[in-house]
Amino acid sequence: MPKLGMEPIRRDALIKAAIAEIGATGALEVTVSRIARRAGMSSALAHHYFGSKEQMFLAAMRHILAVYGAEMRGALVMARGPEQRLQALVRVSFSGSNFRRDAVSAWLNFYVMAQRNAQAARLLRIYQQRLRSNLRHALRPIAGARAADLAEGAAAMIDGVYLREALGTGEPNGTRAEQQVTSWLQAALSRRTE
C-alpha cells in the first residue's frame, strides 16, 4: 500500500521510534532494524529515508531540540515580566515532551554523540546558547550586570538537575527539579539586592 506523500509520515515515525528505542535501551547501541521494526517498516526503508544511522540519530536530536525550542517560545509568549519569563524557561526544561524518560535518556546519549560528531556538537551548542541567551535576557532587568554570570550558572544548574533525573531510577520528577533550580536562582538574586 505504498502511497504518495508518505515521506514525512515515515520520517516522523522513525524519529519517534529512534527516541523510544534509545530511551528503552539506554544506549546508542540500538540497531537500525529494531528502530525500523518499531516504526512498522523495514530497515531498508529507514536507510532510504535517512541515508545512514547517524543521520537518523541527528534527525532525532534535531526533533527533540525543535520541540524544546517551540515549547520555550510558547512559554515565553505567555510570560508577563522578567520573573515569569525566568520561571517559564526553567519550567519548560523540566516538563513536556522534553522531560519524558525517553527524551531524557536520549539526551544523555546525544551528549556522548556530540563528542565525536561535529554536527551533533553543533546542535548541542545551539541549544545551550539559546538557553543561555534566553536566561540572560530574562535576568537582565532583574540582575543587571550579573545577568551573564547568573545565566551561566542557571544553565549549568539546569543541566545538572536534568542529569540527575536522567540517572535516577524512578520516573523524572519535573516539579522537584523546577523547585530546586528556582530556589537557587532566588537565592542568587536576593543576594544581589542586599
| Residue numbers at the binding site for DNA (CB under 7 A) | 1-7, 10, 29-33, 41-45, 47-48, 51-54
Work out what residue 80 binds among its own copies, DNA, none; the CB cut-off runs from 5 to 8 Å by kind.
none
Nearest to 36 by CA among 23, 24, 48, 26: 48
Neighbours of 118 (CB within 10 A): 8
Nearer to its own copies, 40 or 160 (CB): 160
Work out what residue 3 binds among its own copies, DNA, none; the CB cut-off runs from 5 to 8 Å by kind.
DNA
**Smallest distance, DNA to C-beta of residue 185, A:** 41
Work out what residue 129 binds among its own copies, DNA, none; the CB cut-off runs from 5 to 8 Å by kind.
none
Element (H, E) at 45: helix 43-50
Nearest to 61 by CA among 132, 125, 124: 124
Nearer to DNA, 8 or 170 (CB): 8
For the four alpha carbons of 176, 181, 182 and 184, in that order, the dihedral sign comes to positive
